[in-house]
Amino acid sequence: MLTEVADFLKVDLDPSQVNIEINGICSDSRNIQQGDLFIAMPGESHHGIEFVDQAISRGALAVISDTTGYESARRKIASIKIGNTQDLPVTLTDWFYDFPTKKMMLFGITGTNGKTTTTFLLSEIFKYSGLKAGIIGTVAIDIVGEQSPARKTTPTGDEIVSILARMRESSVTHVAIEVSSHALSQNRVSGLHFESVGFTNLSQDHLDYHGNMESYFQAKRSLFTEKYAKKAFINIDNDYGRRLAGEIEISHKDFSLRDRADWNLRILKESGLSKEIQISGPGDKVIDSESTLIGEFNFENLLLAVSIAIESGLDVGEVSRSIPKLMGAPGRLQLVIDKPNHIYVDYAHTPDAVLRVLEAVRSVKAKRIIGVLGCGGDRDRTKRSAMGAALNSGCDLPIFTSDNPRSESPEKILDEMISGLKLKDGAEIIIDRRSAIRRAIEIAKPGDLIIVLGKGHETGQEILGKLEPFDDRIEIMEAIGAK
């Protein structure tokens, strides 16, 4: 009943509205279902109340908003006025579903690169330790192995809590959540409290939204406060991680592959794609294990996942036994085929990620690396030339192509990618991504390695407002079959 909502929030309600029965809570007018309570919050460019008519048409029975929204909506629909809406989507939905956030341990991971892989590694460790785990992130919503597509890296607060409520029905106890800078800036996770939070790294991305790197860093930094968590794990193998570790006031552990830290990882021996590793932590915690992960950055992700898991109470021995089985996230340095060439896909879509992924596949000892890469349209244009330079320098035969051009001209995006570059001999510019993938496979010789970058797990390509089916992994398999 709407009167129960008012009682929980300790606000007044018009007596004529007390018998309205509420079936759900939603802050996105496009997703309203019959009987929902619509949360109309002020946004960066629009106030949610501007969409109240759409919410009503879809079945909303009441709205809750600030003074501005209340005054605008109260003559149209049953309305509740509240002073501060920032935490409302989380706190109200948590109450509505009988507090699922208090029935499980939440772990938040942020950073430019590595969020997805770390959440998958952490979830895998939990599962191999006999726990029921879930993931909320870029690739999918994963509930004990059952996956559904994700629309955003970090959903809205009410969506997160409704997902947690579904997870509780499956007896999930541990949940790894990707926390994006957009979500932090837009207060999507405001009201959640994490058992611990982790920082992977920070490099250029999303400057079309944040404006500059300092603003981007401050958005990430906001997660490392008592508002969200009491414990943090920070990668100090990058400048922003070292800065973060020196600034935050909550308790934290740092980790490193290079310097002395609370948690360290060393690669002792390499044999083909397998590596013997040693992880050391506070006190006498030492893990000797092996892993087939590729790339220094993936061992940073692994170290973060292991340190969080052990310090959340998991048995060191169980964690150690799980490490050789860990696969990481789909579309992240994913080996699609190994004969006649090793062919990988990866989601790298920042200059730093492209450089690090290309450096990682060098360890496979291929004769030549053939790289295929594009840049997305309607996104941070300032990183395009840097991504082009990373491809050109990091592989032997670069192929520049399209990603998701969206509303922009693919030719214009490619011009910006190669602006000022002296292209390597053999470099090619192929606008059509399918043709670019087929060309890479066509020119590959025995012993060459192909890596298709930028889309990873994605299953569509957006061109002029239409999302067409497109999966790099499927394209690779079809091209191999047609060769």
Number of domains in the chain: 3
The DSSP call for residue 424 is: P
DSSP run (H or E) holding 24: strand 24-26
Both 356 and 449 in one domain: the answer is: yes
Give pLDDT tens digits along the chain (483 positions): 899 999 999 998 888 887 899 999 999 999 999 999 999 999 878 899 999 999 999 999 999 999 999 999 999 999 999 988 899 999 999 999 999 999 999 999 999 999 999 999 999 999 999 999 999 999 889 998 888 888 778 899 999 999 999 999 999 999 999 999 999 999 999 999 999 999 999 998 888 888 999 999 999 999 999 999 999 999 999 999 999 999 999 999 999 999 899 999 999 998 877 899 999 999 888 999 999 999 999 999 999 999 999 999 999 999 999 999 999 999 999 999 998 899 999 999 999 999 999 999 998 889 999 999 999 999 999 999 999 999 999 999 999 999 999 999 999 999 999 999 999 999 999 999 999 999 999 999 999 999 999 999 999 999 998 999 999 999 999 999 876
CB atoms closer than 10 angstroms to residue 308: 27
pLDDT given at position 14: 85
Residue 93 lies in a domain: no
Q: Between β-strands 36-40 and 24-26, what pairing exists: parallel, antiparallel or unpaired?
A: parallel
C-alpha to C-alpha distance for 202 and 240, rounded to whole angstroms: 6
- Asked if 182 and 206 count as a contact pair (C-beta separation under 8 A), the reply is yes
Both 142 and 72 in one domain: the answer is: no
Indicate which CATH number applies to the domain containing 198. 3.40.1190.10
C-alpha to C-alpha distance for 78 and 127, rounded to whole angstroms: 45
pLDDT given at position 367: 95
User: Does the predicted TM-score (pTM) go above 0.75?
Assistant: yes
The single-letter code of the amino acid at 157 is: G
Residue 207 lies in a domain: yes
Both 313 and 435 in one domain: the answer is: no
Residue 95 lies in a domain: no
- Rounded to whole angstroms, what are the CA distances from 445 to 221, 368, 414? 46, 9, 26
Residue 91 lies in a domain: no
Both 154 and 269 in one domain: the answer is: yes
Residue 372 lies in a domain: yes
C-alpha to C-alpha distance for 288 and 277, rounded to whole angstroms: 6
Alpha-carbon Rg for the chain in angstroms? 24
Q: H helices of 129-201, where?
A: 157-169, 181-185
Both 270 and 350 in one domain: the answer is: no
Indicate which CATH number applies to the domain containing 448. 3.90.190.20
Check whether the bond before 100 is cis (ω within 30° of 0): no
pLDDT given at position 12: 84
C-alpha to C-alpha distance for 317 and 314, rounded to whole angstroms: 9
Among 85, 76, 75, CA closest to 40:
85
Range of the domain at 62: 2-84
- End-to-end, the C-alpha distance of the chain in Å comes to 63
Among 414, 402, 455, 375, CA closest to 204:
375
